Amino acid sequence: MKKPISTDEVTAIMAQRLVEARIAAGFSRRSDALNRFTSWSPSTYASHELGRRRFDSDFAEKYAVAFKVPVSHLLAHDLYSAEETKPTSNIVRLQRPRPNASFPPIYQSFNTESTLPLLGQTTGGPNGRFILNGSEVGRVFCPPMLEGVEGAYAVRVFGTSMEPRFKAGETVWINPHEPVRAKDDVVVQLLTDGEDQPTESYIKEFRSQSSKVLRLWQHNPDEDESHEMVFDNEDVFSVHKIVFHAV
């Protein structure tokens, strides 16, 4: 007979799995994840990672989407027997983990009636530079987080300067009203040569913006290019946050 496991131990296992999922998703530090997912409460998330507070299915679903892991894994469903999905005592019986895959695979569905404009691009250049010409070249589905957001739009990734984060030809969705923080991915439009309309655009990682300069970061620059890009703040037309991407 297997040794029973207490609810405190289950909570600790859930916390450990949350930490492992966060690291596997590319966020080596807790602050990295909090900087990316700005709607999360830092104190609440810390209590979940440290096992001080057990998170419920609502939090698990949010973390599962962010870190791309199954909800059942974060909730440690593999520790419960079929008749103990809602244990009434503080003892949980261990059992062999169940497969969480499905065949054929089940994909998340989106509202196909809600769409956003895909904006056209012209004139590619170094550092993944392109120009948004303002024309609508197509319509793409609207992710749930952008439903009802005025001015939301999508563009294609140009070049390989942001690989492996973004690949050339991928689509990114933008919320022009979302606050931008360090390490967010953004679409930046710049004014040049005294023009009153943007003449350069970039998809980069936002690092900082002062009263003088805007600092961006690219993951995969060409040999003659730098990882960091710095622009005079007076030339910055807009900095819009990328909130979703897909091939």
* Continuous segment of H or E residues that includes residue 21: helix 7-24
3 state SS of 242:
strand
* Continuous segment of H or E residues that includes residue 71: helix 71-74
Give pLDDT, residue 80.
62
Instruction: Please choose, from the candidates 24, 38, 31, the residue with its C-alpha nearest in 3D space to the C-alpha of residue 67.
Output: 24
d(CA 19, CA 69): 12
pTM: 0.56
pLDDT in tens, the chain (247 residues): 455 678 888 899 999 999 999 999 999 999 999 999 988 999 999 999 999 999 999 999 999 999 999 999 999 888 764 434 444 444 444 455 555 555 555 555 555 578 999 998 876 778 888 888 778 899 998 988 898 899 999 999 988 999 999 998 899 999 999 999 999 999 999 987 767 677 789 999 999 999 999 999 999 998 888 999 999 999 999 999 999 998 7
d(CA 184, CA 22): 16
